[in-house]
Chains A and B, each alone.
Chain A
Amino acid sequence: MSNIPVELKYAKSHEWARINDDGSVTVGISDTAQDQLGDMVFIEVPEVGQTLTAEEACAVVESVKAASDVYAPLGGEVVEVNEGLADSPETVNNDAYGEGWIFRLEPAAVGELEALMDADAYEAFLASEDH
């Protein structure tokens, strides 16, 4: 079974977003996404200071199977990226929701989070994709 933490928000393109205490939002890819992609070999993170709009391609995850874009689940300015992924991309496989985070942004409009799915909706979405 997929691991879908209830406190996160999810995009149809399989990113998760977590709102932090300081108002920033941490972004990564879901456990289902890492599972389908398989063993990661390279993660390209965005640049700190880069301004993103929602659904903009801003990072790349490359596995032994394929390279896929990661899309910003909401707009904002990138304030921190996970530098550790350069040396240890497998962290995304091992801990997709924790140490495998990809970047953190300062949201332009936090309301955009509302457009994302909650855990139940994401689970239903996965089931519908799994036709």
Chain B
Amino acid sequence: MLIFEQSHTGRRALAQAPMQSADTSDIPDSMLRTDEPGLPSTSEMQVVRHYTRLSQKNFSIDTQFYPLGSCTMKYNPRACNTLAMLPGFLARHPLAPASMGQGFLACMYDLQEILKEVTGMQAVTLTPMAGAQGEFAGVAMIRAYHDANGDTGRTEILVPDAAHGTNPATAVMCGYKVHEIPTDAQGDVDVAALKLAIGPQTAGIMLTNPSTLGVFERRIEEIAALIHEAGGLLYYDGANLNAILGKVRPGDMGFDVIHMNLHKTFSTPHGGGGPGAGPVGVSKRLEPFMPVPVVGYDGDEYYWITEAVRPQSIGRLSAFMGNAGVLMRAYIYARMLGSEGMHRVADYATLNANYLMARLKEAGFDVAFPGRRATHEFIITLKRQQKELGITAMDFAKRLLDYNFHAPTTYFPMLVPECLLIEPTETETREELDAFVAAMVRIQEEAENSPELLKEAPHTQPVRRLDEVRAAKQLDLAWSGPAD
């Protein structure tokens, strides 16, 4: 039941009443509303119960194992939240002069330095407000670089078919045509096809490494050389950085630009529509084009680097410098880990993934790339179950909810039929991984003996199987008053 449906005329709660009244005498009558806003009239207890119940319906990392591949749903330490909310950070005004925000600027400068070190890039800017904006900034810099060289014949961005769906979208948003590159049977970029696709029209390539197939792109150095020889640049999608943190660096692989999803790798909040943060790292040749502002340090004071000293910058992406509170959380997380901790993130992210993959394989599930070591995630395919039992990946996913596990990513990447993309992350215990395997084994038994249990799942959730077509086509998102 919606909070609006619990409304009762005249009921009110002091706890929710505004603390102060405002003087509206200087607002013209024509601009003042005459009717009351359509807010629910409820008691304090009704509100508390309503939102507590809603929160209990959540599947979340705080309550359940959440192996949603490609999303890195790891535990975010509470300390990151607590420290980012220290009054000095929280009350800093973005228009305050740099001299009055030295502590905050020092943290941001250090975060830039940490991300530079982790990625092996020449410089980092923190201003993109989310991963998608980071991607946009990255490709916009590639475009600005070619334009600055008078190199306007480069109209095409190469994107492997295993890339994230945002990559082709970003390329198109920046005015490029997308040329798709196939993947070979082992999950690597098809280098022969890549060679045929490269030409004077190539502006660059967008790659995720490890790829969305959960494997490391083994011929990355050869690919980088091919693209650079043709005058193109390499873009690194940092979505899967968790697997390689402190181990290998995109800068050393030859990438020119990388965006990072801080919510995946650096412990900032996931979902809910943000706020996000998508810092971008660049090689030397792209540094002049970085979006501003960037934090500088002259050995004595921290200061803002702006358009004044970066005339070739692609400009600003937001009014200020990105989502400051989110960046603070990432900074605190990185400081808590230290460089040794960064290694351990990658160690355990990959160990957990390989352990889970080996156990599921042993239990009879089909791994999509059995000859390959998993990175931080891996794919199983339920194609055999679909053929023999008529049970799909979606049925498994829905049934997992009944066993109190969030489902892995389903039907992505599209290259693998009936797939589950499973990413356990480094923060899960072995016991939790074992419990997941046990659930998968039981669901397989159910699929063979009582398939209706899967077909009709979930049975234990607040809602049953949704009509996805109706949900997609007939959106019902806003309260529009009582039905009568």
- Residues of A participating in the B interface, judged by any CB pair closer than 8 Å: 36, 39-42, 64-66, 68, 90
Contact = CB atoms under 8 A, between A and B. Distances in A.
A107 B87 CA distance: 69
A68 B47 CA distance: 44
Contacts of B410: 65
Contacts, number: 21
A67 to B, nearest CB: 8
20 contacts: A36-B417, A39-B468, A39-B469, A40-B469, A41-B468, A41-B469, A41-B472, A42-B472, A42-B473, A64-B468, A64-B469, A64-B472, A65-B410, A65-B411, A65-B414, A66-B411, A66-B412, A66-B414, A68-B414, A90-B469
Contacts of B469: 39-41, 64, 90
Contacts of B417: 36
A65 B392 CA distance: 12
Interface residues of B, number: 9
Nearest to A90: B469
B183 to A, nearest CB: 14
B225 to A, nearest CB: 29
A68 B410 CA distance: 16
A2 B9 CA distance: 60
Contacts of B472: 41-42, 64
B392 to A, nearest CB: 9
A41 B468 CA distance: 9
A82 B199 CA distance: 38
A90 B468 CA distance: 12
Contacts of A66: 411-412, 414
Contacts of A42: 472-473
Contact of B473 (A36, A41, A68): A41
Nearest to B411: A65
Contacts of B468: 39, 41, 64
A90 B469 CA distance: 9
